[in-house]
Structures are given as structure tokens and as C-alpha cells.
Amino acid sequence: MAVAKVIEVIGEGSSIETAVEAAVAGAGDSVRNIRNVWVQDIKGLVENGSIAKYRVITKITFVVDG
């Protein structure tokens, strides 16, 4: 039987894709067995009238060892 856990991670990048990848990579620094990512929210950070960065709030699921 497998047990999974979900954590919330915020990622930031120059595009939505890179922000999601940053969230997954950041989570991967401290957890193993990541199975999926769900993007809960997307925000654009505006500087001088245009989007400078994207920030995503994600839910990342991983399988717990044991």
C-alpha cells in the first residue's frame, strides 16, 4: 500500500512554465518520489507596466517512503 503527501510550493520564473519547473525543482531538493504537480494559482508580477515575472502556487504530490 502506498501513502502520498501533498505540499504547497510557490515557484517564480520568467514564464509560467519556468515558474512551475522552479517549484518542482525546489520541492525536489528536500523530498523524493514526486508524482505530480497541480497549479492552483498564477500571478504576474508587474514592473513598469509589463509582466516581469510569473509566480505560481502549486500543490505537489509525492509518495512517502515506508
pLDDT (tens digit per residue) in 28-63: 999 999 999 999 999 999 999 999 999 999 999 999
User: Rounded to two decimals, what is the model's pTM?
Assistant: 0.90
Q: How many domains does the chain have?
A: 1
Band of pLDDT at residue 1, cut at 50, 70 and 90: confident
Residue with the three cell numbers 513598469: 48
**How many beta carbons lie within 10 A of that of residue 55, not counting itself?**
17
Contact 40, 58 (CB under 8 A): yes
CATH code, domain with 10: 3.30.1660.10
Domain that holds residue 59: 3-64
